[in-house]
Amino acid sequence: MKYSTILYELSDGISQITINQPKVMNRLSNTVMKEIVYAAQSADKDDNVKVIIITGAGKKAFCAGADLKELKHDSVLRIKEDLDNYAELCLTFNSLKTPSIAMVRGYALAGGCGLAMLPTFTIASENAKFGTPEINVGMWPMMVMAILLRTVGKKRALDLICSGRMIDAHEAERIGMITKVVPDHQLENEVAELANNLKNKSATILGLGLEAFRNMADMEFSQAIAYLRDMAAIIATTPDSIKGRRAFVEKSAPV
């Protein structure tokens, strides 16, 4: 695919997807979402990619949410077709076997707030702002609500959804919405350090581990324990696990 709204770069095992629409605060048009999905899925299938980073161009916004100009239909079926792209975006990031990082600077609002939470890790600049302001324009963050609930819990999710208020990066970190907040000038270095750490881990174990984590999240406890027992047995028989355990016993560095 030839990209018109995003930039895609791959260097030394780390791919970066940049929403390249800074003049409109990197809003999620249908084209933007389709290109992000294609880039993320392609990176996930590429054995040369060990980590996926997603960010927004410019300093004003990571992503300010949907382009409301595209939600112009008055037919439920037509609007559902428009929303299919965001649904696919959510499902794509929730199924990646490759660890992913959101690098957030500026506004992350509405669907953009959801996108910031979807990756495995979210590192934000101190100037970042998060929120779900849909209620202020007669909307409700339906799909983002599924991400919020699983990330910050029921009460905090409802507080953000019903009030429509924005929070700063420090509050986002405190309530568990993001992984870490850093000074703006340290953002790229912090993300690079995390990405370099991850790319040296076993891709096989990370992929199986992320799959197990997602699958067990909504299971009843006894079902989760039984499932994770089986997954532990599967992981233990992989060549990477066998080599890693042998290196530990022999007090050598695993490769």
10-residue averages of pLDDT along the chain (255 residues): 96 98 96 97 97 97 87 75 92 98 98 98 98 95 97 98 98 98 98 97 96 96 98 96 93 85
At the topology level of CATH, where does 6-199 sit? 2-enoyl-CoA Hydratase; Chain A, domain 1 (3.90.226)
- pLDDT confidence of residue 54: 98
- pLDDT confidence of residue 76: 83
- pLDDT confidence of residue 110: 97
- pLDDT confidence of residue 73: 64
Q: Say if CB 247 and CB 254 are below 8 A apart.
A: yes
Enumerate long-range contacts of 85-89, CB under 8 Å, 24 or more apart.
Answer: 85/28, 85/30, 85/33, 85/34, 85/37, 86/28, 86/33, 86/111, 86/114, 86/143, 87/143, 88/33, 88/37, 89/28, 89/33, 89/36, 89/37, 89/115, 89/118
- pLDDT confidence of residue 253: 85
Q: Where are the domains of the chain?
A: 6-199, 203-249
- pLDDT confidence of residue 72: 66
